[in-house]
Amino acid sequence: MAGAPVIGDCLGWVECRVVATLPSGDHTLVLGEVVAAGVEHEGKPLTLQDAGFKYSG
């Protein structure tokens, strides 16, 4: 790992370096380059649907 903190019970992690930020309506799109990644545990990932969130864009 390159140095970012990792949540203790996470299944995996991705560390990125910000390459650019772009305005997109009322959002800001962040473009990142993956600099490190890893798998910590096997398991079923939590999805937006499982968490009860709905995102329509």
Given a contact cutoff of 8 angstroms between Cβ atoms, the answer to whether 1 and 14 are in contact is: no
Q: What is the pLDDT of residue 1?
A: 43
Domain limits of the chain? 12-51
48 phi/psi in degrees, rounded to 5: -60, -40
> Model's pTM, two decimal places?
0.64
- pLDDT tens for each residue of 17-37: 999 999 999 999 999 999 999
Given a contact cutoff of 8 angstroms between Cβ atoms, the answer to whether 38 and 12 are in contact is: yes
Q: Would you call 49 helix, strand, or coil by DSSP?
A: helix
56 pLDDT tier (thresholds 50, 70, 90): low
Task: For residues 57 and 55, give the distance between their C-alpha atoms in angstroms, rounded to a whole number.
Answer: 6
Is residue 46 pLDDT above 80, yes or no? yes
Single-letter code of the amino acid located at 28: T
